[in-house]
Amino acid sequence: MELLLSSFDILARWDVLLALLAGSVGGVLIGAIPGVGPAVAIAILLPATFSMDPIVGLTVLLGIYGSSMYGGSIPAILINTPGTAVNALTTYDGYPMTTRGEARRALSLAYSSSFFGGIFSVVCLILFAPVLAKIAPMFGSREIFLAALLGLLLVVVAHRGQALIAAALACFGIFLNTVGLEPVKYSKRFTFDQSFLSGGVDLIVVVLGLFALSQAFFLLQGEDEKVRMTKLRGGMFQGFRELVRHPRVAGISGTFGVLMGMIPGVGEFTAQFLSYTYAQRTSKRPQDFGHGSSEGLIAAETANNAVPAAAMVPLLALGIPGEALTAMMLSVFYVHNVVPGPQLFQNQMDFVVALYLALLVLNVLVLIFLLFATNHLIKVVKIPNRFLGVCILVLSFVGVYSLRNSVTDCLIAACFGIFGFVLKRLSLPAVPIILGMVLGGIMEVKLRAGMARVKTPFDFIDRPVAMILFLMILGVLFIHFRHLWLERKKTKEAKWSTKHASTNFGMHLLRRKDYLLKERGRKVREKHLKYNPRSTDKR
C-alpha cells in the first residue's frame, strides 16, 4: 500500500497529468493519420523531452506509444488502410463490417477490445512487479550481456525470410555505436581524424533520419489519395456489451499480448497472429473470419494493445529495449542519469509503478476521448500525404538541429534519411540498426565488466541465470537453423518435383497402360474358363 501511495504521489503532479493528456490525445491523432505512426512522432519529440523531468518526458512518449494503436484502428476500419503497421490485421474484419453498414459497431468493438487489452496488461504487470523486484538483483554484468545478446538474436530471428539482412543491419548498428571515444580508455575509434566524429554518431540523429526523414521522403514522392469517409451515426457503447459475450477470446488474446510483449523482438505482430489463429480455430463460426467476425476483431485489437505495457518489462528490469520505440525511450533515461536495470527495481520501485499507473490512466483517457470525439477525429484521415511529408521534414530538421545546434548533425540525419528511404523501398527493416546501436553499447560495457572475473569460458556461465540465458540462446539458434534446414529441404523437394513432373507423368501413363493390359488379359482368361471349364489353357 505504501508503494502505491508513493507512486500516486509521483503521478499526481499537474505537469505529469498534462503530459499524459497531451501524449494520449496526440497519440490517437497520429495513429489515425495513415503514413505517420508513433515511431515518427516519438523521434520528432525526443529532443524536446530531454529538457523535461524523466517522469514527464517518459509519460509523453508512453502516451503516444500506448494510444497510437487506438487511433490506427480508425482508418483501418473505415477506409481499409491501417493507421499504424500493427493495425493491419484489424482491416481483415473491421472493413467488411463497414461495407455492411456496421462501421459504428466495428469502431466501438475495436475501442472496447483495445481498452481491455491495455488494462489487462497493466494490471498483470503491477501484480508481477514484486516478483520482478526479487529476480532483478540476480542479474549481474554477465547476465545482462547474455540477455542483451539474446534480445538482439530474437530481433534478428523475428525477421523471417530476412534474418541475414537483419543480422547485417544489426551489426551495422553495433559498428555505429563504436564510432568515437571508447568508454574505458577514451581512445578514438573509427574517427579518421574527423573532429565531428569524436563525439560519436548520436542515436537521436540516426533515429530521426531512419524513421522521420525517410517517412517524409516516402510521403513526398507519393501521390495524394482522395478518401471517402463513412458517416457514423448513433452511440459508441455497443462494443462493451459485445466484448462481454466473448470473454475467452479477450482473455487469451490479452495473455498472448503480455507474454509476447515481454520477449524482445517479438511484439505486436506475433501476439496478433497467435491470438487471431487461436480465436479462429476455437470459434463456432470460423468461416466468418476475414468477412467481418467480431471475434477476429477482438483478438487483433486486444493483443496489440496488451503489448506496450509488457514491452516495458525488459526495458525497466534489464535496460534492454525490445523494439525501436522502447529504444528511443531508453535515451530519455540516459539523459537524466536514470539507469534502467536491477538497481531501478531495488531503489526506485515507486517510479516503475508510477509508469504503469500512467499507462492505466492513459487507457481511460483515450477511451473517453474516442467515445465522444470519433465523429470529429475521422477528418484527420483526409490530410494530404505531401502536406504531412513537408511537416515531418521541417519538424525533423528542427529537432536534429536543436540537439547540439549543429549543421553537421542535420547532414548526417539527411544521409540516414536517404538510407532509410532506400530500406523502405526495398522492404527491408530499419529497426535492427537502432537496436544494434543501443544493445551494442550495453553489451560492450557489460562484457568488459564481466570478463574481469572470468578465467575460463565456463566461468562466464557458471551462475544459474547466466546458464539459463546461455541455453536459451542455444535453443533459439537451434530452432532457427532447424527451420532454415526444413525450408531448404522443402524447396529442394518442390524443385525436384517441378523438374521431373513430365517424366513422372510419363511413367504414370506407362504403369497405367501396363495395368490395363494385365486387367484385359485377366478378364479374357476368366471369360474363356467360364465357357470352357475343362480347358487347361493358361494363357
Query: pLDDT tens digits for the chain (539 residues)?
Result: 676 777 777 777 788 888 888 888 888 888 777 767 777 777 777 777 777 777 888 888 888 888 888 887 887 787 776 777 677 778 778 878 888 777 788 888 888 888 888 888 888 877 776 776 677 677 777 887 888 888 788 778 777 778 888 889 889 988 888 888 777 677 788 877 777 777 778 877 887 888 778 888 888 887 766 656 555 555 556 767 778 888 888 888 888 888 877 776 566 666 777 787 788 888 887 777 777 788 888 888 888 888 888 888 777 777 777 677 777 777 777 776 777 777 777 777 777 788 888 888 888 888 888 877 777 777 766 777 788 788 888 888 887 887 777 888 888 889 998 998 998 888 888 878 887 887 788 788 788 877 777 777 777 778 888 888 888 888 888 888 888 888 888 877 777 666 655 555 556 555 666 666 677 666 666 665 655 655 544 44
Cβ atoms of 103 and 77 closer than 8 Å: yes
Q: What is the pLDDT of residue 539?
A: 41
User: What is the 3 state secondary structure string of 498-536?
Assistant: HHCHHHHHHHHHHHHHHHHHHHHHHHHHHHHHHHCCCCC
Give the three-state DSSP class for 181.
Answer: strand
How far apart CA 410 and CA 399 sit, in angstroms, is 9
Cα–Cα distance measured from residue 95 to residue 92, given in angstroms and rounded to the nearest whole number: 7
Q: Which three cell numbers stand for residue 48?
A: 524536446
Secondary structure (3-state) at 180: strand
At residue 534, φ and ψ (nearest 5 deg) are -90, 0
Whole-number Å distance between alpha carbons of 385 and 33? 9
Task: Quote the CA–CA distance of 473 and 122 in Å, as a whole number.
Answer: 28
Do the beta carbons of residue 80 and residue 95 sit within 8 Å? yes
Q: Is the distance from CB of 91 to CB of 301 less than 8 angstroms?
A: no
With cell 482522395, the residue in question is: 226
* 54-78 and 103-135 helices, crossing angle to 10°: 150
| Residue 227 pLDDT | 56
Cα–Cα dist 273/155, whole Å: 17
CA dist., res. 488 & res. 491, Å (int) = 5
| Residue whose C-alpha cell is 537451434 | 478
- Measured over all CA atoms, what is the biggest interatomic distance in the chain, rounded to whole angstroms? 114
